[in-house]
Structure 1
Amino acid sequence: MLLPRTQQQVEAKSLTARSYGDKVSALQDQIAALRRNNVLKLEQARNKLTIAELKVESDSIELVQAKVNFDIGKYQMERSEELLKEGLISLTSMEVRRLKFQEVQAKLISSQNKLLSSKNEFITARIDLDAIDNEFKDKLAKAESDMYTAMSSQFDAEASVTKLENQYSNYQQRTLYRHILAPQNGFIAKAIQVGIGETIKEGAEIVNIVPADAELAVEMYVQPVDLPLIKVGNKVRFIFDGWPAIVFSGWPQISNGTFGGVVVAIDQFAGPNNQYRVLVTQDPEEDQWPDLLRIGSGADGIALLNDVPVWYEIWRQLNGFPADYYTQEQKDQSSEKKK
């Protein structure tokens, strides 16, 4: 259950990372839209400010004209009053002059109010322009802050995904370690590590295996004094434990139950028992070794002498000369070997 749950965690974190990635993309689009809208709004606000500025100029000119008209009307009013006193104009004409003066005076006041209103609109347009820029900066800062937060969360999620994937790979690899593969096919001869749930260290021995298709060989040991007599390629006869044999010393041709071998390797150094190990394999020119022969079976090795005439052997025995090839005559002096 550990692997499926870890896989689910990896998938969930991957979805989270993709969600944050989508959020980052959406915020980037939002920021781009804000920039485009801000350009349009700024252009609109600048146009409005320009209109307000032109209106202020127009109202200022109108006010100047109203002041001129007011001054002219005031002068005409004063002149009419003097003419009325002198009796040069009628009272009706005086009233007409007074009415026109009041209209000019009202026009002046209206122009002043209109100019003040235009100035207020100009100030409002400038404030709106600054407000648009400030609002854009606030929205942009918030959107970028959200985007960076989403990016940070996305990176954290991706880091978690990588960590979980490594953890999943470790779990998967450890699951594969539940089955330890031997370097070759064979049979278990001995279990060294036993028990359920044991922790196995790297390089620790677990079991001893016997190869399934190993080529059988006999492991013989010889004394150092006999080592010069042994050479690679020499013939050897064996008596295997469990297979009866009849041996005639000096007459291997008529011996029965023995099996032939050939020396294939000799150690270059003595073993812990101060003897040299000699490996002997099956002689292809002789009968096959028994099929039921197993690794670890005991065997007695007999090194073969050279074939000599009978008179030579009698002469050698009489003179005490060594044999052409040394052989141990006693069974307890024969080399023991395990296969």
Structure 2
Amino acid sequence: MLNISDNNKTQLQSLDKYKTIQNLSNKVPYKILNRIITLISILGFAILFLPWTQNISGTGAVTTLKPNQRPQSIQSVISGRLEKWYVQEGDFVNKGDTILYISEIKEDYMDPNLVENTKNQVNAKKQSLESYGFKVTTLSNQIQSIKNEQKLKIEQAQNKIKQSVLKIKSDSIDLVAVKTTVKIANTQYNRSLQLNNEGLKPLSDVEEKRLKLQEADAKIITQENKLLTSKNEYINSKVEINRINAEYAEKIAKTQSDQYTALSNQFDTEAQVSKLENQYVNYSIRNGLYYIKAAQSGYINRALQSGIGETIKEGTPIVTIMPAEYDIAVETYVNPIDLPLLSTGTKVRVWFDGWPTIVFSGWPDISYGTFGGKIVAIGNFISPNGRYRVLIAPDQSEAKWPKQLSIGSGAQTIALLKTVPIWFEVWRNLNGFPPNYYTTTTTETNPKK
């Protein structure tokens, strides 16, 4: 202050000079009240330094640890009409027990002998397939026989060619021999004619030589015809080989065509057999689907379909069943701001609806009726309620959870974090900070000597 005004007072005046104050201070009840207020103030200030366990609270319900242990609905794989119920609500069923019998409503499967008729069709097609196999084998043997016959025919034709060649040579030699005979006969005739002119030979001898010459000339023509015939036979033998190749090639091609047709029919029959076998298996399995059975042992909770004679479609839920054996757990939901503080294995305190409980969130040691648990799974995607799902299993190191717990009952959880003074917790809540969010990192240094 600048102390400009004369009325400024640097010290407060004592109130003891007033009578009212003197009277109040002299009365005993007011002295006691002052002492109580002072003690409460001191006690409240001391409480601010007491330890407080930070926590993250959540609400949820009792569930099972494994998905296959949770309540499930049994559905019908095929459409049908309700014919007979074998259970009622509350019954215990073992795995494989029949729950309901339904009858067929589709006209494609109403034949009572459908499976047997399909089996007969499969057997008939298999026999047809075997027949095509035998036909293919027979045609293969026939092709081999034709090839063997072709080989023999060609060898026979080749032998004829060799014979024709040899005959041509023989006829050629005979032709040369005949020409030599003609030449000799001509020489003898000329000599006889000259001797006859000289009077040394008779005319009869000349005529005899002329006759021999004419016979020799006739033999030349005959031998030349034989030679030409032999050459024609040689040419015919070569033509015969080409004819044999063409003839047997046509036979083989026709037989192979029949074989490929048989193979095509065989493959087509194999496809038909596979299709019929598939239908046979499907029909056999469908016959077993008329009896709806329990997938696992458990209790029938509720019948979702009722009555006799009603029709249902495939995939329609029939009943809900609760497994007899399950590992209990709790699913709870936490705020997104608290999610980074949780991790798998974090200790959690759980209390259930209907069980007597006294809970002090900041002092878990003095709480009553809570059970130990630990986090086994944390959701990676936010739930429709705007929170994240956390799955909690019983802590094996603590007391077991009650056996009387039923699936779906309510539960509340507290995840225990760091222990801090109460004044720090009050200050954190007033500022809206999350619990145990800021961590202090300390680095240890090893000084070298």
* Range class of TM-score, shorter chain: 0.5 to 0.7
TM-fit CA distance, 1:161: 0.7
Structure 1 residue aligned with 2:271: 159
For 1:92 and 1:83, how far apart are their aligned partners in 2? 12
Alignment partners' CA distance in 1, 2:358 and 2:273: 67
Q: Name the counterpart of 1:199.
A: 313
Aligned residue number for residue 68 of structure 2: none
Gaps of 5+ in 2: 1-112, 326-351, 360-367, 372-400, 413-449
- In structure 1, the partner of 2:199 is 87
Is 1:24 the counterpart of 2:136 in the alignment?
A: yes
Alpha-carbon distance in 2 for matches of 1:86, 1:128: 61
2:132 and 2:263 in contact (8 A); partners too: yes
Deviation at 1:189, TM superposition (A): 5.6
Alignment of 1:133-282 (within 5 A): 133-182=245-294, 183-184=296-297, 190-192=303-305, 195-201=309-315, 204-208=316-320, 222=353, 230=369, 263-266=402-405, 276=411
The one-letter code matched in structure 2 to 1:97 is: K
**How far is 1:148 from its partner?**
1.9
* 1:76 corresponds to 2:76: no
Evaluate the alpha carbon distance shift between residue 206 and residue 77 of structure 1 in structure 2; reply closer, same or farther with a 3 A threshold: same
Distance 1:185 1:276, change over 3 A: closer
**Shift of residue 98 of structure 1?**
1.3
CA contact (8 A) 1:192 1:208 kept: no
Q: Please say if residues 17 and 157 of structure 1, whose CA atoms lie closer than 8 Å, have aligned partners that are also in contact.
A: yes
Number of aligned residue pairs: 235
C-alpha distance 177-100 of structure 1, shift in aligned 2 (>3 A): same
Instruction: Report the TM-score, using the length of structure 1 for normalisation.
Output: 0.60
What is residue 240 of structure 2 aligned with on the other side? Answer: 128
* 2:355/2:369 contact within 8 Å kept: no
Deviation of 1:136 after TM superposition, in Å, equals 2.2
Q: Which residue of 1 aligns with 2:127?
A: 15
Partner of 1:104: 216
The separation in 2 between residues aligned to 1:171 and 1:38, in whole angstroms, is 54
Higher-helix-fraction structure: 1
Distance 1:227 1:174 in 2: 58
Write the deviation string for residues 76-119 of structure 1: whole angstroms up to 9, x where unpaired. 33443344344332111111111111221121112111111211
User: Quick one: distance in 1 between partners of 2:225 and 2:232?
Assistant: 10
Aligned match of 2:147 in 19, 35, 44? Answer: 35
Identity %: 38
Match of 2:179 in 1: 67
Equivalents in 1 of 2:167, 2:357: separation in Å? Answer: 130
Cα distance change on mapping 1:47 and 1:196 into 2, 3 Å: farther
SS at match of 2:256: helix
Q: Is contact 1:66–1:108 with CA below 8 Å preserved after alignment?
A: yes
Measure the CA separation in 2 of the matches of 1:102 and 1:22. Answer: 72
Q: Which deviations, in whole Å up to 9, do the C-alpha atoms of 1:305-338 show, x marking residues without a partner?
A: xxxxxxxxxxxxxxxxxxxxxxxxxxxxxxxxxx
Distance 1:187 1:276, change over 3 A: closer
CA contact (8 A) 2:171 2:227 kept: yes
Matched with 2:396 is none
Structure 1 position 191, deviation (Å): 4.7
Q: Which has the higher strand share?
A: 2
Q: Which residue of 2 aligns with 1:308?
A: none
Structure 1 residue ranges without an equivalent (≥5): 215-220, 233-261, 278-339
Which of 1 and 2 has higher RCO (CA within 8 Å, sep 6+)? 2
Deviations 1:235-276 (A, max 9, x none): xxxxxxxxxxxxxxxxxxxxxxxxxxx9525579x86xxx55
Contact 2:356 2:369 (C-alpha < 8 Å) held by counterparts: no
Task: Give the alignment partner of residue 52 of structure 1, picking from 124, 145, 164.
Answer: 164
- Secondary structure of 1:264's counterpart equals coil
Shift in Å at residue 38 of structure 1?
2.4
Seen in structure 2, the aligned counterparts of structure 1 residues 266 and 175 have a Cα distance that, compared at 3 Å, is closer
* Partner SS state of residue 127, structure 1: helix
Deviations 1:113-162 (A, max 9, x none): 11112112212222222222222222222222222221121111112111
Q: Which amino acid in 2 is paired with 1:192?
A: Q
Q: Shift in Å at residue 188 of structure 1?
A: 9.0
Aligned AA (1:198): I
CA RMSD for the aligned pairs?
3.3
Matched residue SS, 1:180: strand
Q: Decide whether the 8 Å contact of 2:305 with 2:318 is kept in 1.
A: yes
Report SS of the residue matched to 2:303.
Answer: strand
1:208-245 superposed Cα distances (whole Å, 9 cap, x missing partner): 5699x99xxxxxx947995756568xxxxxxxxxxxxx
Tell me the CA shift for residue 169 of structure 1: 0.8
Cα distance in 2 for partners of 1:128, 1:59 equals 22
Residue pair 1:66, 1:107 contacting (<8 A) in 2 also: yes
